[in-house]
Amino acid sequence: MKQLLLVFLGGGIGSALRFLITKIFNPYFQHFFLGTFLVNIIGCLIMGIVLGLSLRGDYLTQNQLLILATGFCGGFTTFSAFAFEKHSLLTAGAFFHFSLYTLSSIVIGILAIALGLWLIRLL
């Protein structure tokens, strides 16, 4: 039960923060959902750091891993919003923006995970 509550707490904080960031940043660009892009990339970076710390040794307990990786990152990042926004771009005929947003989200997301893992290796 404690583990469930930790995931719930982390997910709630992540979801609330995602909501605020998307409300602030998404309205600035017509065909690029900057808020969703930022939360997904920042979430990948945080996940890389958290997993790097976890793999490095006794830096994180199982409970800390649950609240940060499963809870916070799971609530903070969002594939469903990402997919909906892709659908919106396709139905609007914004094929260039669809391609740019999709490719940059995937490539930069993977690079953010790698950066987080690399930063932890420097410690």
> Quick one: pLDDT at residue 84?
84
- What pTM does this model have? 0.84
| Predicted pLDDT of residue 56 | 86
Residue scoring higher pLDDT (22 or 56): 22
Cβ proximity of 41 and 109 under 8 Å: yes
Whether residue 2 is predicted with pLDDT greater than 90 in this model: the reply is: yes
Mean pLDDT along residues 103-111: 96
Band (80; pLDDT cuts 50, 70, 90)? confident
Name the residue ranges covered by the structural domains of the chain.
Answer: 2-121
pLDDT of residue 78: 80
Q: What is the pLDDT of residue 29?
A: 83
**What value does the mean pLDDT take over residues 63-73?**
94
